[in-house]
Structure 1
Amino acid sequence: MRRRQFLSASLAVPLAYAAESGTATVRGKLTQLEGKAPALETQEHKFIPLGGDLATLGVLQDKRLAGVDLEALGEPSPGGAFQVGPIHTKAMFVHKDGSRLLITYWCDLCSIRTYTPGVCWCCQEETAVDLRKPEAE
């Protein structure tokens, strides 16, 4: 019986933490104005500045994603900004043709997938944006 109680308690802790973390969602058109932080333009034409870790900012500043319908998961910050979750949490999605797609980058030559833009670590060629269904991950 003690094993069952331990398992119940150990499963409840992550669930309680997830409920307390209060992940929020914002969605809108990704805008990238020169000299300003990336932002989402909502349907109400309100601009929400976006922040995040270095890898997340790399994605948000990728010119190939300018103007996409972007959904970001994270937490509101003081002053109306929004802090996108760290890159390892896969917190950014593009909505396209009725599908919610995860932003990834792919090297056709080496068949290597990454989650930030840049050159392939193997062949040094630029990786391509590859939007994928989250279930494929």
Structure 2
Amino acid sequence: MELRADVSCVMDPAALGRFMGSVRDLLLGCSATFVTLCDEPNGTRLFFNRIGEEVFVQVVAYPDLFHPENWWVDARPVWAGRVAIREFATDFMAMVGELLSAHGADRYQKQWGLAFPAEDWATLQLAYSQLN
């Protein structure tokens, strides 16, 4: 089963950098991390648990992320599954590479109003290079 996430940086321009950080942390051996994709007031959280060479991914949609007391009220699991860490990281790296090829860092900033997270990208590339 394939999971495809279409994410816009319009509502949450810092999401890509946070996602890069989570993938980097998983590559460096972190056992659990998550990314929040905000879409005011609702949003989505992607939970990652690394077990050996696999990552268990859970995607949960939240109707209200502004009020912590409401986070789990009507929260809805969207998808859950396991994927090899190498495959996950390779696909994520390819997605970011396609984004850069299509837009470049300059156009990225013009399009989404925030600089491309170059430092996060560099640290992710370094962690990824250590896989091989």
Same fold (TM over 0.5): no
Larger helix percent: 2
Q: TM-score, normalised by structure 2?
A: 0.31
TM-score, normalization: structure 1? 0.30
Higher relative contact order (CA 8 A, sep 6+): 2
Larger Rg: 1
Considering fraction of residues, name the structure with more strand. Answer: 1
